[in-house]
Structure 1
Amino acid sequence: MSALLPEAVRDRFHLPPRAVYLKSHSVGCQPRTAEGLLRERLLEPWRETGEAWPHWLDAIDAWRAALAGLIGVEPRDLCPATNVTAGLSRYISALGQATDRRTILLAPSAFPTIGYLAGGLAAAGWKTRYLPDDADVRDAANWTAALDDDVALVVAMHVSSNSGALTDIAAVASVAQAAGARCVADCAQSVGIVPVTPARWGVDAVLGTSVKWLCGGPGAAWLWVAPHDRTALDPMERGWWSHENPFEMDIHDFRYAPDARRWWGGTPDVAPFALSAAGIGEIAAIGVDAARSHNRALQAMLREALEPETPQWRWPAGEIGGTLCIDTGADQPRVAEALDRDRLRTDFRGTILRLSFHAYNSVADVERTVTALG
């Protein structure tokens, strides 16, 4: 039980009344500090000064610094983005000018937006290649087998949203780079509950979001580009905030910013990043390692209670992230009805039940889940 966090952690978040929230893989509960931080960093400067841009830009810089501290990178290499799709789109727009290779390699279990984006680039000469449907994304040998001299980019999910599989990103990055390709890690389903360490992994870029485990709300995604590509890649999608000096205002003279601002594009959003900073602050204070240990302890309790009683279900094997994905098969309608009846907030991908225990979940939440499903 030493791995469990104190109950007081729950008081730092707004939890749905009379319900058990087990969907941190989807949105994540609102930190109690979020509303005040939004007022302090967005609304009050706007109300008091009218022209609040210096304060708003300070808020974005504070967000970059907070996230950088959480994942162990330099703030200047982080680019705010509206969503993961936008961040990846800008990255590929730059990559296309840096290599003649034109194949993007990913797994069929990648989040669909990645496949939609890659497939939509066919008109620009890009091809999409998928690992076999039955390939274990955690085995770097499966990625090696799919690589050739036309693969420009490997996009690997750190944690799969369909299965919860936890991929060894460092191993995938190593085989990609040995084949002459770059590697991007999609950490949307891991950051905040599983350690995300871009510098140790040796990846070329990382994508993430502030919804889900970071409890930061929508609109505050991000792209991290490795220092070795800090000035080597020039995105085609650029705007005045990509400029070395956005306030120079010379339409005939564009110079890329020397850091991740080159990926920003136009006028940056502010509110999503002010909100996101609240979530990052709470997760940093709790500690990702502590949240991960707590998550694993609750997962183990649930499995110990239910797995022997449900031989007809398929429980995950191998390393997984924060989400427990259980294939309930023909029992899915009954399971869904029981969870809804007992106000347990979960979701399904087909017959696969997805349960996520975050820092604010408790032993009582596990017991209530076991009672409902038992």
Structure 2
Amino acid sequence: MTPEAFRALFPGQRRLRHLASCSLGARSTAVDEAMARMSADMAEHGAPWELFEQQVHEARVRFAALVGARPDQVAVMPNASVGAYQAASTMDWRDRPRLITTDREFPSVAHVWLAQRPNGAEVVYARDADDYATLIDERTRLVSAPLVGYQDAVRLPVAELARTAHDAGAELFVDAYQAVGVQPVDVAELGCDYLVAGTSKYLLGLPGLAFLYARHPDRTDRDPQLTGWFGRVNPFAFDPRTLDFPAAATRFQTGTPAFPVAYAANAGLRLIGALDLARVRAHIGGLTALAEASLIEQGERVRHVPPERRGAHVGLLTGSPAGLTRRLAERGLVVSPRGDVVRISFHYYSDAEDVAALCAALHELGVASALHQRTA
């Protein structure tokens, strides 16, 4: 499928230039149809629980295929934070207390790691990729790294980190939320022990559903500490006196999933599954390079990341990210502020005209600001 054909599946792009997929993917006709199907299933069947369960199972299978995993290695989560907690809750920190992370970690996941300190975890921060290697030792239980940083879009060498962690007897946890859907991701090639990602960003679904991959779900120090009926060997046994855990990754699951969101998740996963993700990554790489060069040429400040290490967005430095986001929205440009940057993110439906429109709007805003200052 060409980028032009893919863009046609997102009719909202005719009115808005969606440059915020790092926060929420653009609305597609496929998601509209999926939500209509969910409503129709409820109208026809009243309580279509079996159909809901099929949607969740399909989402698990599709995500597993997308990242090169087996379905029994994937658990359905409400969000990435719960996935991180479920992994951490199975770990014994007494003999190996060190948990190495980075400031590039999304805070919601980072906070899960900090909450393990009362359980004995010693949270240590790596400054950069090289710093990880100096910190990993025989005291390390877990190494955590985002595949792509949520703020600056830096791609970390997680495959190298996995080898270093394993050599020291530690495990690697990867947050791939800012990567899955816009680049090839293979858990075997990464060598990670855990990976989380969700459906609301580049996977083009809605918030409320995420996935936890576990390489060896049954080889943990202890059972997950948060559980529910979907974490049982047979959830439909309805036995309040038995707490059993399957050997599969479903042992990490908790209560009833967000079934309506599963419809949207499958719509997005089908769209992504039909693409050549190597071509997607190359297309986006061309747009991020164009955006960075164009923004710098007209005097904007950009957080530079080498092209070979950059994910799917560019960080535009500004004194008021939230304010600039609102002003761009007034001009039909949807972007995403985080910290001191406005994130300009791209997907396969993005094109060079989006970059040109962004630059034109920023130029207009800059001129308007300068005129205001001269007349004030």
Query: TM-score if structure 1 supplies the norm length?
Result: 0.88
Q: Deviations over 1:203-257 (max 9, x none)?
A: 101011111111111001110101xx23223212222222212222333333211
Answer yes or no: is 1:21 the counterpart of 2:18.
yes
SS, match of residue 92 in structure 2: helix
Answer yes or no: is 1:30 the counterpart of 2:17.
no
SS, match of residue 91 in structure 1: helix
Q: Give the aligned partner of residue 125 of structure 2.
A: 130
Answer yes or no: is 1:185 the counterpart of 2:171.
no
Given candidates 42, 45, 67, the residue that maps to 1:46 is 42
Residues in 1 aligned to 2:117 and 2:322: alpha-carbon distance in whole angstroms: 39
Residues in 2 aligned to 1:326 and 1:159: alpha-carbon distance in whole angstroms: 17
Moved over 6 A (4+): 331-335
Residues in 2 aligned to 1:256 and 1:38: alpha-carbon distance in whole angstroms: 33
Partners of 1:80 and 1:221 within 8 A in 2: yes
The change in CA–CA distance for 1:334 and 1:128 in structure 2 (over 3 A counts) is closer
SS, match of residue 96 in structure 1: coil
SS, match of residue 321 in structure 1: coil
Residues in 1 aligned to 2:320 and 2:88: alpha-carbon distance in whole angstroms: 42
Equivalenced residue count is 360
Answer yes or no: is 1:66 the counterpart of 2:56.
no
Give me the CA root mean square deviation: 2.4
SS, match of residue 373 in structure 1: helix
User: For residue 149 of structure 2, what is the amino acid of its counterpart?
Assistant: S
Given candidates 205, 208, 219, the residue that maps to 1:232 is 219
Q: Which runs of 5+ in 2 are unaligned?
A: 364-376
Q: Cα offset for 1:72?
A: 1.5
The change in CA–CA distance for 1:21 and 1:255 in structure 2 (over 3 A counts) is same
Q: Cα offset for 1:335?
A: 6.2
The change in CA–CA distance for 1:65 and 1:311 in structure 2 (over 3 A counts) is closer
The change in CA–CA distance for 1:39 and 1:259 in structure 2 (over 3 A counts) is farther
The change in CA–CA distance for 1:94 and 1:18 in structure 2 (over 3 A counts) is same
The change in CA–CA distance for 1:335 and 1:235 in structure 2 (over 3 A counts) is closer
Partners of 1:147 and 1:176 within 8 A in 2: yes
The farther-off stretch of 27-36 and 251-260 is 251-260
Residues in 1 aligned to 2:314 and 2:298: alpha-carbon distance in whole angstroms: 17
Residues 45-124 of structure 1 aligned to structure 2 (within 5 Å): 45-96=41-92, 100-124=95-119
SS, match of residue 48 in structure 1: helix
> What percent of counterpart residues are identical?
26
Q: Which runs of 5+ in 1 are unaligned?
A: none
Q: Deviations over 1:138-176 (max 9, x none)?
A: x3x311111233221111000001111011211111111
Residues 181-260 of structure 1 aligned to structure 2 (within 5 Å): 181-226=170-215, 229-233=216-220, 234-260=223-249
The change in CA–CA distance for 1:314 and 1:31 in structure 2 (over 3 A counts) is closer
Partners of 2:175 and 2:195 within 8 A in 1: yes
The change in CA–CA distance for 1:76 and 1:14 in structure 2 (over 3 A counts) is farther
